[in-house]
Amino acid sequence: MDTLTLDGKKAWVESSPTKVFDIDHKTEKVGCFSLGLTILSMKTHLMEYYQVIKYLWCFLREIGDGS
């Protein structure tokens, strides 16, 4: 996203059918402002959720095996 020009970012934001993205005019970064998260924060949270889900999946497999 950082490689896009400001016009490119505007076009990307306007192309979203859900209209949850906007541009922070101070930083010129695209954010998901309806959730109060920037794109980077969203990626970080997704990785954290992935780790939790992965741990739970392994735990449930152990229970299912009777171990």
Pick the more confident residue, 25 or 7: 7
Is a pLDDT exceeding 60 seen at residue 45?
A: yes
User: Domain segments of the chain: what residues?
Assistant: 6-65
Q: Average pLDDT for residues 39-57, to the nearest whole number?
A: 74
Alpha-carbon distance of 41 to 55, in angstroms, equals 21
CA 53 from centroid of its chain's CA atoms: 16
Pick the more confident residue, 43 or 15: 15
Q: Which sign, positive or negative, has the C-alpha torsion 26, 16, 3, 6?
A: negative
Question: DSSP string covering 21-33, please?
Answer: EEEETTTTEEEET
> 29 forms bridges with which residues in the sheet?
24
The reported pLDDT for the residue numbered 41 is 63
Q: Are 13 and 4 within 8 A, CB to CB? A: no
For the chain, give the percent of residues with pLDDT over 90. 6
